[in-house]
Amino acid sequence: MEPILQCSGLCKNYVGKTALQNVNLKVERGRIVGLLGPNGSGKSTLIKLCSGLLTPSTGILSIAGMAPGVETKKIVSYLPEHRYLSDWMCAKDLLTVFSDFYADFDMSKALDMLQRLGISLSSRLRTMSKGTREKMQLILVMSRNAQLYLLDEPIGGVDPATRDYILNTIISNYSENATVIISTHLIADVEKILDEVIFLREGSVLLHTPADELREHEGKSVDACFREVFKC
C-alpha cells in the first residue's frame, strides 16, 4: 500500500513569514510518529495542511495517495490543540454528531471509553473540567477507525495520570493500517511509544529516523537529543 503521508517540496508561506520550506517526507502506515520541534517550527502548520485546514503554497501533499479534500477528511482524524467543540453540547450530542458525519466512527468503542472514564452521557462540555474535556475530545478522535490520526499537543495541559491514559489509548488503538502523528513538546513522556521521530526547525525537516536508531546512534534519549539540537 502507498505511504499514508507523502510531502515533496512542500512550502507554506504567509505574509512576511515562511512557515514550511521544502518539506520532503514519507510516512508509512502502522507507525506512531513524533513531530517534534520548538514553538514556531511549523508543526501545527504541517498538521493543519494534512487535515485540510490549510492549502500548500507550493509543492505536493498527498494522504493515502490523494490530495487533501473531502475524501481525505473521511480517513483523517484530527485533534486540535485547543477547544473546538460547542460548549452547550453534551457527550451524547457529540457522539451523535461524529457518528453522523463519519462512517468510520465506532460508537461502541466511544461508549466503552466514556464509561471507563466515568463521563456521563448527559454531561455538558461547559461543565466539564479541563482534563475531562481533553479526554472527551480524545475519545471522539480515537473512536474513529481512521487511517491517519493527527494529534496536536494531546497531553499538553493534563495531569500525569490522564497523560498515561491518553498514551495507553493511543497504543491500544494501534492498527497496522493506520498511522498516528503526535506533535508535542513533552518528548520525555511520549518517546517510549514512538516508532519514528521527525525534528522540525524553522519550517525545515532536520531529521526523520526511527526512535531506537536515534538512541543507538547518539547514545541518548530522544529528549536529550532534542535538547542538544535545539539548544538556545
Which residues form the interface with other proteins (CB under 8 A)? 30-32, 51-55, 70-71, 73-74, 76, 78, 80, 82-86, 88, 93, 97, 100-102, 164, 167-168, 171-172, 174, 188, 191-195, 211-213, 215-216, 219-224
C-beta neighbour count of 210 within 10 angstroms: 14
Pick the closest to residue 170 from 31, 9, 26, 22 (CA basis): 31
> What is the spatial distance between Cα 68 and Cα 152, in angstroms, rounded to a whole number?
18
Whole-number Å distance between alpha carbons of 38 and 106: 35
Question: What Cα–Cα distance (Å) separates residue 164 from each residue in 10, 41, 106, 149, 155?
Answer: 34, 26, 22, 18, 9
Other CB atoms within 10 Å distance of the CB of residue 11: 16
Query: Quick one: cell of 106?
Result: 465506532
Which candidate, 25, 24, 9, places its Cα nearest to that of 179? 25
Question: Can you say whether residue 42 is alpha, beta or left, with left for phi > 0 and alpha for psi between -120 and 50 degrees?
Answer: left
